[in-house]
């Protein structure tokens, strides 16, 4: 459903952030994009939602070109893409419900989306999503009164408001503690499975990535140096992505997980505990 071909991005200060990246996602496929800081992970997903304009290459969502469109055509394609950010990008002084209903924020600016009238269907969907992400009854809480995990749940619900087909997730757990990080990763994986959503999840934590994401793409200096099952991400692949390091703790951890999970691999390991509120 998403096809990226020979994508390059050179920023105006001449930093080349992406050097010919090609990546395909099937409908409902979830990919973990890992790599060191500066590898180009954020640039790649920003090219897909066109917060950044690619220098060259092709991006197609269900055959519809994304690299070249602009104006109303771009808005139409973007409606199919939900975005979840590390810093949640919530409007602090507004309630959870107000944040959800301004779900287009990040693309159109808050006041423009707020000016539009919200219909009953949007409000019903917002309540349904709040319940699904574990925030039932919290609609009138102000965003600045929430914990990090709750804020990210609002961010997830907001990304789903427009019923996207593709989710782009940038470091969803970077500001969260390890337990909350796992709950958030599990929630994202469950929602993708339930709704048949494809997703690219940028994540620098290798253990977390291999625990939850069945397919891993490794970026290094703007190039893909690994694309394969999480279970096969061995010391050699990790060295290609991150450079020389002692990887035994990480590779031992996921071989343990694989043994526990049997042949079904990372996907089975993805749902080890019931969902709990942070
Ligand atoms: N807005 C920008 N202007 C100029 N250079 C940028 C910009 N954003 C990112 N870069 C550069 O592009 C490269 C990739 O950055 P980024 O995509 O943020 O990597 P990652 O998300 O993997 O940490 C880095 O060298 C970074 O300095
Ligand atoms: Mg980044």
133 and 169 together in one domain: no
pLDDT band at 260 (very low <50, low <70, confident <90, very high): low
Neighbours of 250 (CB within 10 A): 17
Dist. CA 186 → ligand 2 center (Å): 21
32 domain-assigned: yes
Taking the CA of residue 46 as reference, the ligand 1 atom at the shortest distance is 17
What is the distance between the alpha carbons of residues 201 and 93, in angstroms, rounded to a whole number? 28
Ligand nearest to the CA of 55: 1
184 and 265 together in one domain: yes
131 domain-assigned: yes
From 12, 13, 33, 38, the mutation candidate for ligand 1 (largest count of ligand atoms within 8 A of CB) is 38
What is the distance between the alpha carbons of residues 247 and 255, in angstroms, rounded to a whole number? 12
* pLDDT at 213 exceeding the cut of 70: yes
pLDDT band at 86 (very low <50, low <70, confident <90, very high): confident
Instruction: Outline where the chain has alpha helix (H).
Output: 41-48, 71-78, 96-101, 110-115, 120-132, 148-160, 178-195, 206-212, 235-242, 248-261, 266-269
Residue with the smallest CA separation from ligand 1 atom 2 is 11
From 15, 32, 85, the mutation candidate for ligand 1 (largest count of ligand atoms within 8 A of CB) is 15
**Is the CB of 11 within 6 Å of ligand 1?**
yes
75 and 168 together in one domain: yes
Query: Can you tell me the mean pLDDT for 157-163?
Result: 91
Parent domain of 33: 2-80+164-254+261-269
pLDDT band at 276 (very low <50, low <70, confident <90, very high): very low
Ligand nearest to the CA of 172: 2
Q: Which residues of 181-192 are buried (b: 16+ CB within 10 A; e: fewer)?
A: bbbbbbbbbebb
Give the tens place of pLDDT for each residue, 110-125.
Answer: 555 555 556 677 888 8
Among 37-41, 101-105, 160-164, the least confident range: 101-105
* pLDDT at 88 exceeding the cut of 70: no
Query: Can you tell me the mean pLDDT for 44-52?
Result: 92
118 and 37 together in one domain: no
Query: Can you tell me the mean pLDDT for 180-189?
Result: 95
Q: What is the pLDDT, as a whole number, of residue 248?
A: 77
* pLDDT at 274 exceeding the cut of 80: no
């Amino acid at each position: 459903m998403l096809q990226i071909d020979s994508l390059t991005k050179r920023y105006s200060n001449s930093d080349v952030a992406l050097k010919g990246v090609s990546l395909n996602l099937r409908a409902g496929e979830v990919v973990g994009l890992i790599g060191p800081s500066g590898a180009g992970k954020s640039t790649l997903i920003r090219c897909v939602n066109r917060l950044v304009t690619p220098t060259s290459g092709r991006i197609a969502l269900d055959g519809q070109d994304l690299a070249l469109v602009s104006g109303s055509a771009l808005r139409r394609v973007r409606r199919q893409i939900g975005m979840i950010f590390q810093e949640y990008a919530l409007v602090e002084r507004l309630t959870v419900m107000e944040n959800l209903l301004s779900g287009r924020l990040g693309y159109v600016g808050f006041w423009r989306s707020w000016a539009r009238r919200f219909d009953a269907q949007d409000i019903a969907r917002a309540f349904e999503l709040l319940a699904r992400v574990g925030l039932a009854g919290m609609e009138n809480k102000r965003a600045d009164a929430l914990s990090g995990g709750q804020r990210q749940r609002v961010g997830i619900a907001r990304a789903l408001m427009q019923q996207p087909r593709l989710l782009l997730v940038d470091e969803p757990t970077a500001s969260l503690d390890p337990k909350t990080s796992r709950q958030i990763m599990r929630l994202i994986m469950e929602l993708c499975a339930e709704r048949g959503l494809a997703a690219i999840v940028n994540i620098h934590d290798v253990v977390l990535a291999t625990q939850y994401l069945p397919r891993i793409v490794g970026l290094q200096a703007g190039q893909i140096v690994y694309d394969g099952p999480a279970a096969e991400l061995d010391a050699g692949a990790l060295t290609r992505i991150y450079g020389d390091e002692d990887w035994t703790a990480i590779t031992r951890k996921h071989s343990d997980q694989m043994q526990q999970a049997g042949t079904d691999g990372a996907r089975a390991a993805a749902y080890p505990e019931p969902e709990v509120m942070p």
